């Protein structure tokens, strides 16, 4: 029975917290859900606008996906739904497929969600959660920063009440400058006012409320609800001043009701068109979600399962697709709010989904006069936290190759769009990994005086033997870097008649493959032809077994030493004159 339960818990992580669920946890989850619901309603509408779909679709994307993740997700506090970057990627993927707002556009958006869900489920079934480790954090930060800039620029047209086109920096900036003289004054005043208020609330509301006597927790909760009050106030301003008759764009009629489940099979041609964008959306969405999930889990000494997260996000996107919505993932802002509000389990997501469903059923028509400028301001404020230009300085100080990768990703995303940007970011991440593994750190080491320790001759004051070259390679040895080691050693030995022994210190070599053994053999023969012996020291068990299976040790010209100190001691006694 215990084995069966363990399998069920692995498949449905919700069973673990359901088994210990009580009134106290329920109260905490309910409070968190109320706050997240208030935050999520305007965000859902705003991200629907960003994705190019009707406002109610944003609400649909915040109901069934939350329920799916609550059942299958391994994070206790991650909140799934529409997010800025994925919404922008959706709009970019669909802009050449159909006209925004049309029935075909909606079908394409739900197809994109279905494809993303299928890809994530397949990756989860193959237990490929490790793919997130292959994407450089710096490159992803660069992509998200550039995407944040594009998102903010794309919303300026709604903030100012103008018409603008383009999906890249070079397209949007000139178009915005041309359209500024035609800006609607009422829209611009309303939009900028909401933007300023939202920024001030985010920065100062919690401190101000705490200053006037509220507890820090209460002040923080009120500060999180304040944006919803500002959005509702903008709606009231439009109604009272009849600004909609003066050209202020509003959301318009939002139909009552819950999403309808559609199980139709997407068109084959449409699938082929959207398959590549779906792959990119899946990867970026997964990386963003796992990053947030890991961060929040660590705060409570919990863990998430990367493979299970693939399955959970896959199920969430399938739920979004079947309910006529667009791709979703774990959102940073709402997940942090959910965590800070005291959510303890995924029951908070179930309660949030119920709250959004109530809004979709009964409150949607009351949002008719919600100004699009206010939603644009909401998006701009939300993406401000995504823009981190300091990543350029940080990577410059750390690694020139990382800096170049970030710079390329940012420039390509801004100039060529998000699809090219994310594809280049992934390519650069993989290229960086291959470059670094093909050119590992190799050091000449010497003995620290009076000890048995050996360190890099460039960084420490050490003793070396003139007739012995001791080499330490800080990487496993395989086909991609074996030739680099051979060239490095050859460059040191060639023309130096004093060197009679080369010791390869293997303390950092955890694995070795057939190609590397063959290269070691060639290096052994090359050194032997010059009268130099090759020795190995501190070889780990798995590597030693592999060398023995291939009988390399019988062909090696030198000896195998248990420790580098043994090698140093024995070789120090040999004739230092290589010519004799």
Domain spans, the chain: 2-432, 442-572
Q: pTM for the whole thing? A: 0.81
Lowest mean per-residue pLDDT among 375-384, 452-461, 538-547:
375-384
Lowest mean per-residue pLDDT among 72-81, 207-216, 458-467, 474-483:
207-216
CA–CA separation, 135 vs 435, rounded Å? 14
**Higher pLDDT pick, 262 / 502:** 502
459, 470, 495: which is closest to 563 by C-alpha? 470
Residue 3 confidence class, pLDDT cut points 50, 70, 90: low
Residue 4 confidence class, pLDDT cut points 50, 70, 90: low
281-336 pLDDT, tens digit per residue, is 999 999 889 888 888 888 888 888 999 999 999 999 999 999 999 999 998 888 98
* Number of other residues whose CB lies within 10 A of the CB of residue 24: 9
> Which pLDDT score is estimated for 577?
44
CA–CA separation, 565 vs 41, rounded Å? 67
34, 77, 556: which is closest to 335 by C-alpha? 77
Exposed/middle/buried for 336, CB within 10 Å: 0-12, 13-18, 19+?
A: middle
* pLDDT over 70 (residue 501): yes
* pLDDT over 70 (residue 1): no
- What's the chain's average pLDDT? 89
- Given a contact cutoff of 8 angstroms between Cβ atoms, the answer to whether 298 and 305 are in contact is no
131-146 pLDDT, tens digit per residue, is 777 777 788 888 888 9
42, 358, 44, 424: which is closest to 225 by C-alpha? 42
Please give the average per-residue pLDDT across 448-458, as a whole number. Answer: 93
Structure tokens at 318: 């399938």
CATH architecture of 442-572: 2-Layer Sandwich (3.30)
Please give the average per-residue pLDDT across 92-107, as a whole number. Answer: 90
Beta carbons within 8 Å of 311's beta carbon, 6+ residues apart = 72, 120, 121, 124, 125
220: left (phi over 0), alpha (psi -120 to 50) or beta: alpha
* pLDDT over 70 (residue 149): yes
417, 376, 383, 405: which is closest to 169 by C-alpha? 417
């Amino acid at each position: 029975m215990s084995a069966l339960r363990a399998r069920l818990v692995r498949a449905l992580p919700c069973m673990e917290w359901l088994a210990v669920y009580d009134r106290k946890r329920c109260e905490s989850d309910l409070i968190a859900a109320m706050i997240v619901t208030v935050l999520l309603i305007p965000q859902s509408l705003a991200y629907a606008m960003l994705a190019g779909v009707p406002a109610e679709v944003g609400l649909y994307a915040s109901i069934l996906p939350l329920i799916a993740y609550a059942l299958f997700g391994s994070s206790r506090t991650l909140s799934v739904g529409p997010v800025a970057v994925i919404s922008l990627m959706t709009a970019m993927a669909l802009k050449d497929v159909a006209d925004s707002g049309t029935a075909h556009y909606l079908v394409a958006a739900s197809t994109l969600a279905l494809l993303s869900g299928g890809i994530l489920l397949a990756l989860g079934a193959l237990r490929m959660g490790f793919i997130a480790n292959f994407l450089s954090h710096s490159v992803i930060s660069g992509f998200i920063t550039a995407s944040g800039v594009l998102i903010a620029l794309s919303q300026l047209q709604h903030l100012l009440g103008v018409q603008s086109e383009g999906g890249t920096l070079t397209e949007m900036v000139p178009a915005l400058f041309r359209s500024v003289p035609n800006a609607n004054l009422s829209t611009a005043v309303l939009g900028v006012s909401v933007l300023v208020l939202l920024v001030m609330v985010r920065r100062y509301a919690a401190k101000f409320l705490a200053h006037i006597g509220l507890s820090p927790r209460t002040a923080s909760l009120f500060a999180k609800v304040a944006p919803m009050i500002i959005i509702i106030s903008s709606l009231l301003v439009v109604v009272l001043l009849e600004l909609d008759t003066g050209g202020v764009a509003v959301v318009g009629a939002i139909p009552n009701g819950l999403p309808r489940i559609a199980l139709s099979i997407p068109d084959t041609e449409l699938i082929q068109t959207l398959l590549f964008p779906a792959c990119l959306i899946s990867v970026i969405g997964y990386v963003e979600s796992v990053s947030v999930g890991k961060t929040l889990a660590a705060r409570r000494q919990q863990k998430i399962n990367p493979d299970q997260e693939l399955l959970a996000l896959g199920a969430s996107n399938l739920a979004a697709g079947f309910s006529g919505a667009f791709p979703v993932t774990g959102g940073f802002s709402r997940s942090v709010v959910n965590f800070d509000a005291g959510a303890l389990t995924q029951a908070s997501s179930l309660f949030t989904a119920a709250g959004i469903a109530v809004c979709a059923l009964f409150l949607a028509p009351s949002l008719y006069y919600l100004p699009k400028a206010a939603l644009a301001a909401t998006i701009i404020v939300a993406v401000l936290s995504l823009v981190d230009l300091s990543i350029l300085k940080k990577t410059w100080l750390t690694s020139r190759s990382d800096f170049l990768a970030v710079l390329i990703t940012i420039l390509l995303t801004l100039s060529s769009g998000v699809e090219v940007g994310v594809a280049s970011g992934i390519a650069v991440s993989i290229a960086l990994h291959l470059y670094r593994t093909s050119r590992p750190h190799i050091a000449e080491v010497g003995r620290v005086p009076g000890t048995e320790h050996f360190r890099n001759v460039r960084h420490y004051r050490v003793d070396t033997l003139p007739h012995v070259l001791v080499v330490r390679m800080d990487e496993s040895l395989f086909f991609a870097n074996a030739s680099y080691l051979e060239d490095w050693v050859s460059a040191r030995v060639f023309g130096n008649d004093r060197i009679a022994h080369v010791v390869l210190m293997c303390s950092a070599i955890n694995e070795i493959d057939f190609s590397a053994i063959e290269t070691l053999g060639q290096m052994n023969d090359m050194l032997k032809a010059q009268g130099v012996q090759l020795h190995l020291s501190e070889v780990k068990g798995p590597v030693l077994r592999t060398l023995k299976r291939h009988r390399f040790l019988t062909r090696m010209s030198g000896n195998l030493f248990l420790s580098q100190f043994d090698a140093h001691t024995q070789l120090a006694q040999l004739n230092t004159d290589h010519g004799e």
